[in-house]
């Protein structure tokens, strides 16, 4: 049985929203860079590589991580369109997971831009901005009722999920290579 140990009245931690987001961004970047480095060390640089399991392609996952920033900040938080509508449309959820030929430099620039924009937004945001609730009609049903703070926490979970996929993909590639 699930118990909610995180009641609103429990103020156990005292971390500012800016510190929380900086910490989350640093952790997400660290894991992504580590996995990319490990892929490069073993010779996995083919962005079209797709595991036997049918998981999304290497390049799709990397670009999708960047699209997660774009979606979280620009679509959900700011209620605007994505900053890079072409890449967002190509690597959003619901696509077939294929890499569409986008270069790693372009993918990394999209990721870097999203990360930078998120921290810039956080620096200027007020407590009211973080407490704003996502309303019906402005976002997919999954996000309706969440606070912006919850959206950001979900963003970090989403990025971590895909970092795990990248590691699984790396291991699959090693198994394929060793035959």
CA distance linking residue 145 with residue 148, whole number of Å: 10
Residue 63 contacts residue 107 (beta carbons within 8 Å): yes
Residue 83 contacts residue 70 (beta carbons within 8 Å): yes
Q: What is the mean pLDDT of residues 30-49?
A: 96
Tokens for 81, please give them. Answer: 């369109």
Share of the chain above pLDDT 70, in %: 92
pLDDT tens digits for range 137-174: 999 999 999 999 999 999 999 999 999 999 999 999 99
pLDDT of residue 52: 85
Secondary structure tally for the chain: helices H, strands E: 6, 0
Q: What is the mean pLDDT of residues 94-109?
A: 95
pLDDT tens digits for range 40-89: 999 999 999 999 888 999 999 999 999 999 999 999 999 999 999 999 99
2 — pLDDT class (breaks 50, 70, 90): very low
Mean pLDDT, the chain, rounded, equals 91
Tokens for 162, please give them. Answer: 């895909």
Lowest mean pLDDT among 8-12, 128-132, 173-177: 8-12
Q: Is the pLDDT score of 15 beyond 80? A: no
Domain map of the chain by residue range? 55-178
88, 22, 145, 127: CA torsion to nearest 10:
-130
Q: Which residue has the tokens 């799709």?
A: 60
Identify the residue with better confidence: 2 or 57. 57
Q: Is the pLDDT score of 8 beyond 90? A: no
pLDDT of residue 161: 95
3-class secondary-structure state, position 145: coil
Angle between helices 104-124 and 17-41 (to 10 degrees): 170
CA distance linking residue 102 with residue 122, whole number of Å: 29
CA distance linking residue 111 with residue 5, whole number of Å: 33
∠ CA(162), CA(123), CA(81), 5° rounding? 55
């Amino acid at each position: 049985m699930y118990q909610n140990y995180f009641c609103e009245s429990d103020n156990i931690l005292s971390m500012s929203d800016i510190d929380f987001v900086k910490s989350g961004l640093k952790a997400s970047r660290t894991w992504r860079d580590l996995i990319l480095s490990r892929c490069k060390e073993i010779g996995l640089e083919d962005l079209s590589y797709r595991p036997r399991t049918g998981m999304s392609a290497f390049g799709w996952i990397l670009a999708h991580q960047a699209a997660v920033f774009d979606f979280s900040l620009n679509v959900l938080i700011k209620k605007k369109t994505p900053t890079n509508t072409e890449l967002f449309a190509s690597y959003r959820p619901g696509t077939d997971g294929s890499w569409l030929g986008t270069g790693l430099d372009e993918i990394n620039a999209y990721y870097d831009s999203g990360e930078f924009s998120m921290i810039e937004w956080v620096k200027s945001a007020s407590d009211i901005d973080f407490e704003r609730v996502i309303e019906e009609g402005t976002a997919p049903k999954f996000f309706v009722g969440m606070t912006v703070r919850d959206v950001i926490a979900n963003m970090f979970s989403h990025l971590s999920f895909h970092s795990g996929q990248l590691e699984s993909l790396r291991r699959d590639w090693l198994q394929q290579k060793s035959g």
